[in-house]
């Protein structure tokens, strides 16, 4: 009996895995065959791209280009998260502050972050600071606005419960307000992650001496077209990997929220 | 003499967008230490407003609430509230144990003492095994038990309950009523129980305060002279129970028509 159940579990897992990889495999196969006979310089066969891959992405290159990119992304993303959540909590907690800030925030959010690259370059030069500032300035908006929404939506009964039990100040912030807003905050963090990756590349394309964006542009300018394509593959894989890591963290922190939603769907 | 909790001349007027609503006109009553008092009144009579004023969550327009002789100006440490909406009053991101423990962390207690209080409170509501569960994994009745355990662990002088069983089914409700009676008798705590259900008020209370319709005054105070040992089956069919509930019912009907207490 239990053997049968376990067999069913394995089967279900295999089926899920099949569903997950079916489309990627199909797309890669389509790319492979469509490009197989290509003689176009800009559109090399996938075969050529894949054979170039290990030559281009050596340990040295990972250290000199991928690592700096990732570190800048991390620095920008984390500072955006800290600033966004802190400011968002203040704005979300006080109606007056919100009334004053909201129009400005809506305006700033509407400015496309890549436009800020030349502006920030004026102030912060072309070093690490500029790139981190560009990433942070783009990532901060979804985090900030989602935190504001999450914080202001704290349930009134929960708020009163906390007050009646003397849970105030830092304890209230930590155990009630931020936890209650965490699903919204994570929605903002998720949006910010994809914005951060885009800005990481863009900031390196304008003025840089290393990094993924710099490398890809460099390959393109020197007509190393298959190498350029491998760079795009690396970026795609990187984005995918970061999103998997994000999901793992989210599942851990918001486990209660998914459980709560599933239980209210059942009833 | 002054009771443990005394409300005198309480008045609450809501002012909003050109409309003045007088929810409570003039309420005066006391609750003595160790009493179980039920407040019953027609729906919309400002029961929740009154409760929030007593809990220090709302500031009355005039009059005052005294707890052990000290005026209540914010949530007093000697008071715990059990709200009707258990689903919104328990924190879904915390396990049952953490929900009960969180208020205790605001008090100067050792970790061991906190653990003791939590375990004891959960045991006394029959949820010793559910400490590691999340509230949303429990039924409605069990969730309200958690809220009661949280209030008990807080060791309040007065326990305020705001229509706590209005949202659970009839059988669970009967169980919870007996739980409250049992806790009151075993622990000697003071309970003020707000309800709109006349039967519940008479079954639970040692004393019933009947409120008038809004703007609210005390319509009548009634001593419930039923035996201390109460039973869902026998007490509810006792002739005295029927008399009392008929009396309270008439008072509430009179209150709705706006007739002063007899």
- pLDDT tens-digit profile of B29-84? 999 999 999 999 887 778 888 999 999 999 999 999 999 989 999 999 989 999 99
- In CATH, what class is A26-31+45-266? mainly alpha
- Residue A1: the pLDDT is 40
Q: What are B130-178's pLDDT values in tens digits?
A: 999 999 999 999 999 999 999 999 999 999 999 999 888 989 999 999 9
Residue ranges of alpha helices (H) inside chain A are 2-35, 46-56, 59-61, 67-93, 95-110, 116-124, 128-152, 156-164, 169-172, 178-206, 212-221, 225-253, 255-266
Residue in the structure block whose two tokens are 């972050």? A113
Q: Name the residue of chain B whose CA is nearest to A160's CA.
A: B57
For chain B, the average pLDDT equals: 90
- Nearest CB among A171, A182, A256 relative to B105 is that of A171
Dihedrals phi, psi of B37, to nearest 5 degrees: -110, 135
Structure token digits, residue A148: 């504001």
- Residue A118: the pLDDT is 83
Closest CA to A178 of A243, A81, A105, A73: A81
Domain extents for chain B? Answer: 1-78+156-246, 84-155
Dihedrals phi, psi of B172, to nearest 5 degrees: -60, -40
Q: How many helices (H) and strands (E) does chain B have?
A: 9, 10
Rg (CA), chain B: 18
Q: Name the residue of chain B whose CA is nearest to A256's CA.
A: B93
Quote the distance between the C-alpha of residue B160 and its chain's center. Answer: 4
What mean pLDDT is predicted for residues B192-212? 92
- Nearest CB among A161, A176, A263 relative to B136 is that of A263
- Residue A6: the pLDDT is 58
CB B194 within 8 A of CB B161: yes
d(CA B7, CA A222) in angstroms, rounded, equals 85
Residue in the structure block whose two tokens are 């004891």? B120
d(CA A65, CA A234) in angstroms, rounded, equals 11
Half-sphere exposure of A46 (CA within 13 A, CB side): 11
d(CA B160, CA B55) in angstroms, rounded, equals 8
d(CA B232, CA B159) in angstroms, rounded, equals 23
CB A146 within 8 A of CB A184: yes
Q: What are B75-126's pLDDT values in tens digits?
A: 999 899 999 998 899 999 999 999 999 999 999 999 999 999 999 999 999 9
Beta bridge partner(s), residue B209: B39, B221
**What residues in chain A have their Cβ under 8 A from chain B's Cβ atoms?**
155, 157-158, 160-161, 163-168, 171, 175-176, 179-180, 182, 256-257, 259-260, 263-264
- Nearest CB among B57, B102, B134 relative to A256 is that of B134
Domain extents for chain A? Answer: 26-31+45-266
Q: Name the residue of chain B whose CA is nearest to A255's CA.
A: B93
Which residues fall within 8 angstroms of residue A144, CB to CB, at 6 or more apart?
A83, A84, A85, A87, A88, A91, A105, A188
Contact assignment for B136 to A167 by CB distance below 8 Å: no
Q: Is B83 on the interface with A (CB under 8 A)?
A: yes
d(CA B10, CA B215) in angstroms, rounded, equals 11
- Residue B233: the pLDDT is 86
d(CA A50, CA A43) in angstroms, rounded, equals 13
d(CA A134, CA A131) in angstroms, rounded, equals 5
- Residue A40: the pLDDT is 86
CB A98 within 8 A of CB A40: no
- Residue A124: the pLDDT is 78
- Residue B67: the pLDDT is 93
**Residues in chain B within 8 Å Cβ distance of A264:** 136
- Residue A4: the pLDDT is 47
Cis omega (within 30 of 0) for bond into B215? yes
| Dmax (CA) of chain A | 75
Q: How many residues does chain B have?
A: 262
**Residues in chain B within 8 Å Cβ distance of A163:** 57, 75
Q: Name the residue of chain B whose CA is nearest to A163's CA.
A: B75
**Which CATH number is associated with domain B1-78+156-246?**
3.40.50.300
Size of interface A-B (CB pairs under 8 A): 69
Q: Shortest Cα distance from A30 to chain B (angstroms)?
A: 46
Measured at the CA of B197, the angle between CA B191 and CA B201, to 5 degrees, comes to 40
- The CA–CA distances, whole Å, from B139 to A22, A24, B94, B148, B171 equal 41, 43, 16, 14, 13
Percent of chain B scored above 90 by pLDDT?
69
CB B244 within 8 A of CB B224: yes
End-to-end CA distance of chain B: 25
> Residues of A197-229 as b/e, b for ≥16 C-beta within 10 angstroms?
bbbbbbbbbbebebbbbbbbbbbbeeeebbbbb
- Residue B35: the pLDDT is 93
Low-confidence residues of chain A: pLDDT under 70: 1-7, 267
């Amino acid at each position: 009996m239990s053997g049968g159940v376990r067999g069913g579990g394995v089967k279900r897992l295999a089926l899920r895995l099949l569903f997950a990889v079916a489309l990627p495999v199909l797309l890669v196969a389509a790319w492979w065959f469509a490009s197989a006979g290509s003689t176009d310089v800009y559109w090399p066969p996938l075969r050529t791209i894949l054979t170039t891959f290990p030559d281009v992405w050596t340990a040295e290159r990972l250290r000199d280009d991928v690592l700096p990119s990732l570190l800048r992304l991390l620095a920008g993303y984390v500072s955006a998260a800290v600033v966004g959540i802190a400011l968002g909590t203040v704005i979300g907690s006080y109606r007056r502050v919100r009334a004053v800030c909201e129009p400005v925030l809506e305006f700033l959010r509407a400015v496309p972050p890549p436009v800020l690259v030349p502006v920030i370059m004026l102030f912060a030069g072309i070093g690490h600071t500029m790139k981190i500032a560009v990433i942070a300035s783009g990532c901060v908006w979804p985090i900030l606005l989602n935190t504001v929404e999450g914080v202001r939506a704290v349930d009134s009964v929960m708020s009163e419960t906390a007050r009646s039990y003397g849970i105030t100040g830092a304890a209230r912030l930590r155990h009630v307000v931020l936890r209650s807003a965490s699903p919204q905050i994570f929605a903002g963090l998720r949006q910010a992650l994809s914005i951060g990756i885009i800005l990481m590349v863009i900031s390196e394309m304008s003025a840089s001496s290393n990094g993924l964006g710099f490398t890809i542009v460099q390959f393109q300018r020197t007509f190393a077209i298959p190498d350029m394509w491998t760079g795009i593959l690396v970026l795609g894989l990187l984005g995918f990997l970061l999103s998997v890591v994000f999901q793992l963290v989210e599942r851990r922190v918001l486990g209660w929220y998914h459980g709560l939603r599933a239980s209210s769907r059942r009833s | 003499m002054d009771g443990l909790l005394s409300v005198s001349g309480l008045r609450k007027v809501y002012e909003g967008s050109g409309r003045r609503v007088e929810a409570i006109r003039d309420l005066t009553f006391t609750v003595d230490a160790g009493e179980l008092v039920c407040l019953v009144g027609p729906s919309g009579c400002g029961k929740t407003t009154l409760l929030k004023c007593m809990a220090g969550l709302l500031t009355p327009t005039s009059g005052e609430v005294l707890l052990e002789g000290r005026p209540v100006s914010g949530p007093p440490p000697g008071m715990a509230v059990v709200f009707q909406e258990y689903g919104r009053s328990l924190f879904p991101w915390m396990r049952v144990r953490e929900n009960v423990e969180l208020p205790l962390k605001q008090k100067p207690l050792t970790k061991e003492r906190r653990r003791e209080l939590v375990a004891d409170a959960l045991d006394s509501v029959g949820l010793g095994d559910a400490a590691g569960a999340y509230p949303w994994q429990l039924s409605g009745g069990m969730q309200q038990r958690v809220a009661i355990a949280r209030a008990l662990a807080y060791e309040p002088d007065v326990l305020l309950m705001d229509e706590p069983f209005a949202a659970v089914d009839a059988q669970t409700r009967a169980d919870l009523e007996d739980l409250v009676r049992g806790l009151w008798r075993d622990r000697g705590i003071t309970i003020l129980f707000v309800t709109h259900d006349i039967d519940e008020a008479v079954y639970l209370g040692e004393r019933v305060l009947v409120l008038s319709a809004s703007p609210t005054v005390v319509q009548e105070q009634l001593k419930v002279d039923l035996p201390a040992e109460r039973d869902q089956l026998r007490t509810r069919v006792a002739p005295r129970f029927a008399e009392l509930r008929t009396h309270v019912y008439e008072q509430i009907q009179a209150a709705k028509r706006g007739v002063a207490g007899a």
